[in-house]
A and B are shown apart, each in its own frame.
Chain A
Amino acid sequence: MISRADMIDRLSSSATAPTKTYVVEVHTDEPGDYLRDALGSQNVEETADAYLYRVHAGPNLSFWVDQLDERFWNFHTQDPVRDALPYLKSIVDERRELDWMWLPSAHLRHIWPGATTRRVRTEFHARDVLDEDSYSSDLSVRLSGRDADQLLDYIAENDKYRSAVPFDSVQIRLSDPELGCIDEALNRSGRFAVSGESIEFHLQFVRSIVNRYKGFVEACERRAIEWRPFSDDGDPGGLMNGAPIVIDFSKSANLSRLLDAVFSSRYPYRLWGTPVIVDAVAYVEAVDLHVGRRVRVDVGSRWLRVYLEQGGCGNTVARLISNLQTRFDSALSLRDPELQAALSAHAGSRSRTMSSD
C-alpha cells in the first residue's frame, strides 16, 4: 500500500514539473466519507496513512489529498493548473461545507521571516465601489526581481495609494542548510506552487502558512455571539458571550456603491442581502452563499460590524476582509487588538533557522 513517504518521493519539485498545492477548508466530522462523497468513491484510493488519500479525478488528473489538518485539507498535484483548478473549483462551488483559504494581504506581505521576495502581484479593482475621482480605483502591478515587494511598499507610502495595494500573489526563495532551496509561489486563495530541491520543505511551508491563517480564523470564531440559558426548563434567564467584529476602513465609503458590490450575491463576496439604510448606516441580514449561513452586518461609511453567531465560520470574516482589501480598502484594520495582530501578523518564530537567498 502506498504511504506518505511514497507521496513525498513521487511529488516533484523540479522547475519543469512543479507541484501545486491547493488548500481547501472543509467542515465535516467524517473526513473519509465526505471525500468519497464529494469526489466519487470510485475515484478515491486509501493509502497506508490514515490521513492520506490518492484521488484519480480523470485520465490525466490526480491528487494526493492530505487531511492531517482535519479542517484545511491539502490537495497536491503535478498535473496542469488548467485541469486541476477548474475541477476543484467546481466541487468547492457546489458544496456548502467547502471553501478556499482567503489570506489577508499582510499574510502574503510577511510570508516568511527574512525571505527574499522574487515576484509580487497586486490586484486592486474598486471601479464599482469608488467614486470616479478617486486616486486609485484600479491598480495592478506585477514585478519580478529581488525584493520585488519593496515597490509595493514604496507605493503604499503615498497616502493617495496606500489603500490600493493589496498583495494578491507572491513568489519567494527559501533556503535552508539541511532542506535545500525552493522557490514558492502562492496567492491569496491558498494556492501554492513549488520548484526546487525539497518537497518536504514545501509541505512544511504550506503548513506554516495554513496554521497562521487558521489562528486568525479561530480567533474570529472565539468572538462568536452565544446565548446560553441558565436552565433547560424554559424559564427566562441566561448568558450572552461574544461580540461583533468591527472592521475600520482607512477611507470613507460611498455606502450605496459598497453595498451594491458586497451584497449582490455575486462572486467573490457571494453575500445575499437587502440593506436597510437609516441615518447613513446600513443594516443587513445577509446570507453567506459560500456556506449557506446567515450573517448580520452593519455598515457605516468608515466601519463595518460583523456578527458571527455561535457555530458560524471564521472563514466568512476572512473572506470578507480579503475581498474588501482587494476591492475597496487594502489598508483596513480590525478594532480588536488580538484580531488585528492575527490579521497583520508576521510569521512567528520557527524551530529551525531558515535563511533566505
Chain B
Amino acid sequence: MDERLLPVNAAAGLVLRNDICPAVLADAGFRLVGVEVSVVCGHGRVTADLVFFADDVSHLLLCEAKAGAHLDEDQARRYSDIDPMNAVDASRVTITKRVRPTVEAIYVCLERHAESIRRGFASAGVEYPLLVLGGDKLTLVGVELASDHLRWALGSGTVELKGPPPRLIPFDHESDESIIEPFVKAQLVAELSNRRPSVSVPMLTERIAPYAAVLGRSARRVLIRKVGNVCRSIARGDSDTFVYQPPAGNDDGVMHLRRTPEDNDPRGRTQAYQALARRPGSRTRVPPPDPRQPDLFSELDVEDDGQW
C-alpha cells in the first residue's frame, strides 16, 4: 500500500467492525457516510476525505487525511467555518432523530509529520484534534479540542492497532507507478485466465481501482494515464505475453494479451502462471517442499482409492 494513504485507510478502518483493528468509531455509533465529500463553507469549500456520522447524536465528523507533512493553511481555516447543515446536505445523510446536527473536523497524519502539521495549524491560527498514526497505534493529539462524541469514541486517546490498517484505498492518482504496478499485473493475470485477448486501459483502471469513481474525473484521468505507463513497462518486460498500444486520437490505450497460460496442459499451465509471478531479475527463492514427493507411508501399504 502507498504509505501516503495509511492515514486515510487507518481512519476508515475505525468503522469496520470485525476487522483486526478495533472499530472504535463504529462502537461509538459512527458510520462512514461519504468519501471525498465537498462541503461549501464561508469562504469557499473543502473536500473532506472521509465523513462519518453518528445517528444518535446527529454528529458529523469530517476527516482530513494528510498524506505528507504539508498543511494547506487556507483549507485548514475553511474547515473552521463549516455550517453543519451544509455538511448534512453534502454528505446526503438522513437524520432519523430530530437532533440538531453538529460538525467537527479532525486531521489524521503519520507520526513523523505530526509536528509539521501542528506548526501549520498554529501558523493558520486554527486548532483541530489530530489523530496520529505511529507504530502500532493511533493517538489523539489535542484531546481537549475534540467533541464529547469523539472523546467518548477514542477513550484514553490511544487506539492500539492489532495489525496494519485495511487496504481499502491502496493507491491513488498521486501514487508512484511502481506502487500501482502489482495491481495492474494481477489484473492482467486475471484477464489472461479468462482468455481475454485485450483490455482497454480505462477498463483496467476501473477494475483495479473501483474507488476511482468517487475520486472524481480529474483524478481518474491521471490514474488512467499512470496505468497506461505501467502497461507500457510491463509489455516491455514481457513482450511475448503483452503488447501495449498507446492511446491515439479518441482511442484509449489497449493492452493486448498474446498468449495465456490457459493454452497449456494443466502442469504447464501452473508453471506458466508461476513464471508470471516471478519478477525480472528476482533472486531464486529457497524452494518449498515438493508436494509431489510421495508419501512414504503409501510405499508401505496399498492405498484405498477412497471412492464410494
Contact = CB atoms under 8 A, between A and B. Distances in A.
Given A128-B288, A266-B291, A294-B190, A238 B36 contact: yes
Interface in B178-194: 182-183, 185-187, 189-191, 193-194
A183 B65 CA distance: 61
B122 interface: no
B216 interface: yes
A303 B168 contact: no
A195 to B, nearest CB: 9
Contact of A246 (B19, B33, B207): B19
Given A227-B210, A335-B18, A18 B308 contact: yes
B216 A265 contact: no
Contacts of A237: 34-38, 90, 214, 216
Interface string A247-280: 0000000000100110111110000111010010
A335 B36 CA distance: 29
Interface string A68-94: 000000000000011000000000010
B7 interface: no
Interface string A280-303: 010101110100111010101001
A305 interface: yes
Per DSSP, are chain B's interface residues mostly helix, strand or loop, or mixed? Answer: mixed
B219 A236 contact: yes
Contacts of A209: none
Nearest to B187: A294
A283 to B, nearest CB: 7
Interface residues of B, number: 60
Interface in B10-28: 12, 16-20
A127 interface: yes
B145 to A, nearest CB: 27
B107 to A, nearest CB: 19
B93 to A, nearest CB: 11
B308 A303 contact: no
Nearest to A90: B266
Interface in B259-280: 266, 270, 273-274, 276-277, 279
Contacts of A243: 16-19, 166
B121 interface: no
Contacts of A96: 193-194
Contacts of B248: none
A318 interface: no
B216 A235 contact: yes
B208 interface: yes
B167 A238 contact: no
B213 A336 contact: no
Nearest to B271: A265
B164 interface: yes
Contact of A225 (B36, B168, B219, B308): B168
A59 interface: no
Interface string B54-76: 00000000000000000000000
Interface in A81-116: 81-82, 93, 96
A234 B36 CA distance: 12
A149 B102 CA distance: 59
B1 interface: yes
A239 B190 contact: no
B289 A128 contact: yes
A204 to B, nearest CB: 20
B186 A287 contact: yes
A215 interface: no
Q: Which of B20, B34, B295, B307: most chain A Cβ within 10 A?
A: B20
A41 interface: no
Nearest to B165: A298
A127 B189 CA distance: 29
A305 B166 contact: yes
A244 B16 CA distance: 8
Contacts of A127: 289
B281 interface: no
A88 B185 CA distance: 31
Contact of A274 (B37, B38, B182, B214): B182
A356 B232 CA distance: 65
Nearest to B217: A234
Given A227-B211, A298-B164, A272 B189 contact: yes
B273 A281 contact: no
A293 B191 CA distance: 8
Nearest to A168: B306
A240 B168 contact: yes
A177 interface: no
Interface of A: 18, 81-82, 93, 96, 121, 127-128, 138, 142, 169, 171, 185, 193, 225-230, 234-240, 243-244, 246, 257, 260-261, 263-267, 272-274, 276, 279, 281, 283, 285-287, 289, 292-294, 296, 298, 300, 303, 305, 307, 309-310, 335-337, 339
Given A293-B190, A298-B167, 16 more contacts: A127-B289, A169-B306, A225-B168, A237-B90, A238-B213, A238-B214, A240-B211, A243-B166, A246-B18, A264-B274, A272-B189, A289-B273, A296-B170, A298-B166, A305-B163, A307-B167
Interface of B: 1, 12, 16-20, 32-38, 47, 90, 92, 163-164, 166-168, 170, 182-183, 185-187, 189-191, 193-194, 207-208, 210-211, 213-217, 219-220, 266, 270, 273-274, 276-277, 279, 285, 288-289, 291, 295, 304, 306-308
